[in-house]
Amino acid sequence: MTLEIITSDSLAPLRHGFFTRRGGASSGVFSGLNCGRGSSDQSEIVNINRARVAEAMGVEADHLLGVHQVHSATAIPVTGPLTDAPKADGLVTATPGVAISVLTADCQPVLFADAKAGVIGAAHAGWRGALDGVLAATVAAMEDLGARRDNIHAVIGPSISQAAYEVGPEFFEDFLAEDPDFARFFAGGKDDRMMFDLPAFGLHCLRDAGVGHAEWTRHCTYADPTRFYSYRRATHAREADYGRLIAAIRL
């Protein structure tokens, strides 16, 4: 099966993609293109999957760069192969010939580009990272490399949608403590539960950071098991583990 790659005209002409789970070598609960080295999938199979992504991006396998994601607000610059993945949730580069990537399974994968300046970025933005400012941090790191905020295009890839993201009152209070206006990203659920709109919050953060264009591809990871991995869906199904989707961009 060939790889399925979701792209956006907003990031053209740069090579980029939000890869679905189709076209991979993994089996079982990981069936498909699992690119997560932190999963319990066989490491050699994950490496095969990552090599397929690198080939699609037109780079060597060791030039498909990623970080050790920790739900932080840290974004770092990279220029070449990393011996040890640093702890961060955003990475930026102005170096041609390397692809920067993030892994997700419900959280937001966000790809950034200032094609005019030749600066790109990628961020992993779950609710914690987004609330703490990882998207703004990624934009600032791009700016340090010569990008202009108003020239940056940012695209949120497949993420969990509001219809599938039920949260409790403590979660709601965390957001209201930051800004009471954040109540607009929640809808009522059953009893004391709320439904959180993560992509809408991500778009708010991007626009608040001053990017020239921001969009969501409007794919829900939870709702489409044939195309996407989902941490929450795997949890509800009591599965032992789950795969990780990859999103990548290069100059």
pTM above 0.95, yes or no: yes
* pLDDT tens by residue, 121-167: 999 999 999 999 999 999 999 999 999 999 999 999 999 999 999 99
Confirm whether 191 is domain-assigned.
no
What's the domain range around 22? 5-159+218-250
Q: What mean pLDDT is predicted for residues 20-44? A: 97
Confirm whether 202 is domain-assigned.
no
Confirm whether 187 is domain-assigned.
no
Q: Which percentage of the chain shows pLDDT scores above 90? A: 98
* pLDDT tens by residue, 201-231: 999 999 999 999 999 999 999 999 999 999 9
The total of structural domains in the chain comes to 1
CATH of the domain at 130: 3.60.140.10
Confirm whether 35 is domain-assigned.
yes
Report whether 204 contacts 185 (CB < 8 A): yes
Confirm whether 206 is domain-assigned.
no
Confirm whether 155 is domain-assigned.
yes
Confirm whether 146 is domain-assigned.
yes
Distance from chain centroid for Cα 135: 11
Going through the chain in order, the beta strands assigned E by DSSP cover: 5-6, 15-19, 64-65, 75-77, 90-93, 99-104, 108-114, 119-125, 153-156, 166-167, 186-188, 194-196, 213-216, 245-250
Confirm whether 207 is domain-assigned.
no
